[in-house]
Amino acid sequence: MPTVKVDGQEIEVPAGATVLQACELAGKEIPRFCYHERLSIAGNCRMCLVEVKPGPPKPQASCALPATEGQEIRTDSEMVKKAREGVMEFLLINHPLDCPICDQGGECDLQDQSMAYGRGATRYDENKRAVTEKYMGPLIKTTMTRCIHCTRCVRFSEEIAGVDEIGALYRGENMQITTYLEHAAKHELSANVIDLCPVGALTSRPYAFEARPWELKKTLGIDVMDAMGANIRIDSRGREVLRALPRVNDDVNEEWLSDKSRYAVDGLTRRRLDKVWIRKPKKNGQGKLEAATWDEAFKKIKAVKPGKDIAAVYGDLLDCETMFAAKALLGAMGSTLIEGRQTGMTYDTSNLAAVNFNTTLAEIENADAVLIVGSQIRHEAPLLNVRLRKAVKRGAKVFIVGPEWETTYPATFLGNDLGVLNSLSADVTDAFGKAERPAIIVGGAALGRGALGKALALAKEWNVVREGWNGFNSLHFSASRMGGLMLGLAQKGGMADLVAAKPKVLLALGADEVDFTQFPDALKVFIGHHGDKGAHAADIILPAAAYTEKAGTYVNIEGRVQRSEKAVFAPGDAREDWTILRALADALGVKVGFDSFDQLRAAMFANTPALANEGLADLGGELPAGGGDASGIIEAYPVADFYLTNAICRASPTMQRCSAELLHGEPLAEAAE
């Protein structure tokens, strides 16, 4: 623990800290462009120069200089001021003065730091360098003339994403950042380079020229595009959500966000259900939907007299409050038929520890042997893939059962027959025998095929639960899954139980993946926000709110309870889901026990106390013993198209374009500019 003096103030810094970190610990702001906490140190922007004694009589780059005992660091001397002014002047020599038309304006590091540390006037009257436009895909808009060569994007794609596709070509003044042969950046986290770019060289293409940062209302939200529960900031103007940006949360998403979470928000204004619709009867086939009023819809539901013959199926994007309201409504009617595993997947949910990501996202980085059973991690949980890559960099061995996919780290594929789990080869058993922190991840493709029992047996055999380490993980990809399971909303036989019960009324809560032809006699009431598959099959459509339009509680795969706030109002006649269910209760003449959102939450907390506190829920209990043999071939992973997994994505033009261009290789259709 060396002791250094920063501007006369003596502080102790951790061993291995850099001078820049020492200055930050002392509360001094050090301007920087290339340095980033989560990337390797490049030391090429020179903005972080400070004066250090002992050392050469010139300013030193603090980001790349280790802090050592007895150093005297000055960040406020004349030398430092002059150095910063000089570096800033050089950076601005070739940087265009196009801030008024630059999307980074208002949130630009270069702009801010030139105000704070620059000279204030230019002395340069030569021609500026110009760089040809580069194409980086449908998400990243480039204006490479603005690039200051910090190489953060290069380091991100190499170190974090693990897909080497961005590079710095040529040299010196002619250096250019580009993707290989200007191909689109093709990985699930590509848009994070937009946040990393300290200038306006890489900006968001869908958000181009939409708004200035100071016009936006910022709301703290939780992402629902996958089950990671990434922390997001929802930026909205008026009634429209314009963008979603990651918030820093080291336990969940660090500061990254998958492209889908970031760009699906433009689907929130398209294909929305903003009116009540009722399907008119027709002799042959499906009748037409006609706009109606809430009263008419409720009357129609009441006329069926469901009694206890009512069932509900909930979709992937739901918050716990909606699910609890549905549970309360069904409970009041005398039914418990509620299920969320829409595609008919079944697995034992009696012990939540067996279906939870017990290791936690932050801890999985420390695993030293990982067995992934039936999961395309990059598509099902892109942020988890980043963590696994870190684990592999630290020496972890990864084995995968399932069809091959392009990993971003060395991994061994054991074939797509789940039967391989019954007689694992020696190198797998050896690796797990020796591992200090072994982890098993069971994905959706395996859970649905009964591999959970075998995985639990393997967990016992390899002793993956040990002092200070729980290595057994199930990986879901629906944001509502863990919340639903904690609320106890699952049937033993899955959807088949609902089908067998032949309900008179089926409430589909944002459920778009259900095969509704299984319920030919039920009155299908769709309560959701997008006109997608669910609405298409429905007899009555009640318009509800999307995740940005309601406050809600979400539980991510590791059982972390998080709350999201309401950013904007739902469009048209659409209401928050719980109010619809509350009104339906009145229409059906039952009491659900809450009249306001606060009462609903209180009732939910009383029902499931684990949801009352934010943070990791204690799902308790030992892992069940499991057992049995696994069998079956995994033909394909559940996520067929990463960019089109739910109703919001499918409505999003950006996601459709990503799917067409990045996954299906269609050429980019762009209007001539």
Instruction: Note whether 174 binds another protein by CB under 8 A.
Output: yes
- Length of the chain equals 673
Query: For residues 166 and 584, which CB has a smaller minimum distance to another protein in the complex?
Result: 166
The residue within the footprint of another protein, chosen from 15, 97, 181, 671 (CB under 8 A), is: 181
Residues 322-381 within binding reach of another protein (CB under 8 A): none
Query: For residues 167 and 624, which CB has a smaller minimum distance to another protein in the complex?
Result: 167
Tell the residue number behind the tokens 């047996």, with chain if given. Answer: 457
Query: For residues 165 and 316, which CB has a smaller minimum distance to another protein in the complex?
Result: 165
Least separation, in Å, of the C-beta of 162 and another protein? Answer: 10
Please provide the DSSP assignment of 413-482 as one string: E--SBGGGGGG--HHHHHHHHH-SSEEEEE-HHHHTTTHHHHHHHHHHHHT-EETTEE-EEE----TTHH
Amino acid letter at 21? Q
Query: For residues 86 and 167, which CB has a smaller minimum distance to another protein in the complex?
Result: 167
Least separation, in Å, of the C-beta of 170 and another protein? Answer: 5
Least separation, in Å, of the C-beta of 246 and another protein? Answer: 25
The region of 33-41, 176-184, 493-501, 603-611 touching another protein under the rule CB under 8 A is 176-184
Query: For residues 378 and 481, which CB has a smaller minimum distance to another protein in the complex?
Result: 378
- Give the tokens for residue 19: 């001078």
Least separation, in Å, of the C-beta of 405 and another protein? Answer: 18
Least separation, in Å, of the C-beta of 180 and another protein? Answer: 4
Least separation, in Å, of the C-beta of 219 and another protein? Answer: 38
Instruction: Note whether 127 binds another protein by CB under 8 A.
Output: no
Least separation, in Å, of the C-beta of 400 and another protein? Answer: 20
Backbone torsion region of residue 450, taken as left when φ is above 0, otherwise alpha when ψ lies between -120 and 50, otherwise beta = left
Residues 38-67 within binding reach of another protein (CB under 8 A): none
Please, where are the H alpha helices in 132-196? 152-155, 192-196
Q: State how far the Cα of 304 lies from the Cα of 9, in Å rounded to an integer.
A: 77
Q: State how far the Cα of 432 lies from the Cα of 365, in Å rounded to an integer.
A: 16
The region of 177-185, 315-323, 378-386, 600-608 touching another protein under the rule CB under 8 A is 177-185
Query: For residues 132 and 343, which CB has a smaller minimum distance to another protein in the complex?
Result: 132
Alpha-carbon distances, residue 271 vs 156, 235, 550, 578 (angstroms)? 35, 21, 18, 22
Query: For residues 175 and 616, which CB has a smaller minimum distance to another protein in the complex?
Result: 175
Instruction: Note whether 450 binds another protein by CB under 8 A.
Output: no
The region of 19-27, 136-144, 179-187, 356-364 touching another protein under the rule CB under 8 A is 179-187
Least separation, in Å, of the C-beta of 7 and another protein? Answer: 39
Query: For residues 150 and 216, which CB has a smaller minimum distance to another protein in the complex?
Result: 150
Query: For residues 16 and 172, which CB has a smaller minimum distance to another protein in the complex?
Result: 172
Instruction: Note whether 180 binds another protein by CB under 8 A.
Output: yes
The region of 174-182, 198-206, 453-461, 480-488 touching another protein under the rule CB under 8 A is 174-182
The region of 89-97, 138-146, 173-181, 586-594 touching another protein under the rule CB under 8 A is 173-181
For the four alpha carbons of 474, 480, 486 and 492, in that order, the dihedral sign comes to negative
Stretch 140-169: interaction string toward another protein, x if CB under 8 A: ------------------x-----xxxxxx
User: Angle 597-607/320-333 helices, nearest 10 degrees?
Assistant: 80
Query: For residues 180 and 209, which CB has a smaller minimum distance to another protein in the complex?
Result: 180
Amino acid letter at 233? R
- Give the tokens for residue 448: 């649905």
Alpha-carbon distances, residue 319 vs 222, 249, 354, 561 (angstroms)? 10, 20, 22, 11
Alpha-carbon distances, residue 359 vs 223, 290, 354, 371, 444 (angstroms)? 21, 50, 12, 13, 17
DSSP code, position 128: P
CA-based nearest residue to 548, from 221, 207, 210: 221
Query: For residues 190 and 322, which CB has a smaller minimum distance to another protein in the complex?
Result: 190
The region of 170-178, 521-529, 544-552, 609-617 touching another protein under the rule CB under 8 A is 170-178
CA-based nearest residue to 202, from 279, 253, 141: 141
Query: For residues 147 and 166, which CB has a smaller minimum distance to another protein in the complex?
Result: 166
370-398 exposure pattern, b = at least 16 Cβ within 10 A, e = fewer: bbbbbbbbbbbbbbbbbbbbbbbeeebbb
The residue within the footprint of another protein, chosen from 18, 62, 114, 179 (CB under 8 A), is: 179
Q: How many residues bind another protein (CB under 8 A)?
A: 15
Query: For residues 188 and 549, which CB has a smaller minimum distance to another protein in the complex?
Result: 188
Amino acid letter at 629? D
Query: For residues 166 and 581, which CB has a smaller minimum distance to another protein in the complex?
Result: 166
Query: For residues 179 and 407, which CB has a smaller minimum distance to another protein in the complex?
Result: 179
Residue 450 has, within 13 A of its CA and on its CB side, a CA count of 9
The residue within the footprint of another protein, chosen from 9, 10, 170, 343 (CB under 8 A), is: 170
Please, where are the H alpha helices in 136-293? 152-155, 192-196, 259-263
Least separation, in Å, of the C-beta of 132 and another protein? Answer: 9
Check: CB of residue 35 under 8 Å from CB of residue 25. no
The region of 52-60, 104-112, 178-186, 590-598 touching another protein under the rule CB under 8 A is 178-186
Check: CB of residue 227 under 8 Å from CB of residue 556. yes
Least separation, in Å, of the C-beta of 30 and another protein? Answer: 29
Q: State how far the Cα of 353 lies from the Cα of 644, in Å rounded to an integer.
A: 30
DSSP code, position 575: B
Strands in 556-671 per DSSP E? 560-564, 615-616
Count the Cβ atoms, other than its own, within 10 Å of residue 97.
9
Check: CB of residue 303 under 8 Å from CB of residue 583. no
Instruction: Note whether 475 binds another protein by CB under 8 A.
Output: no
Q: State how far the Cα of 73 lies from the Cα of 6, in Å rounded to an integer.
A: 5
What residue ranges bind another protein (CB under 8 A)? 158, 164-174, 179-181
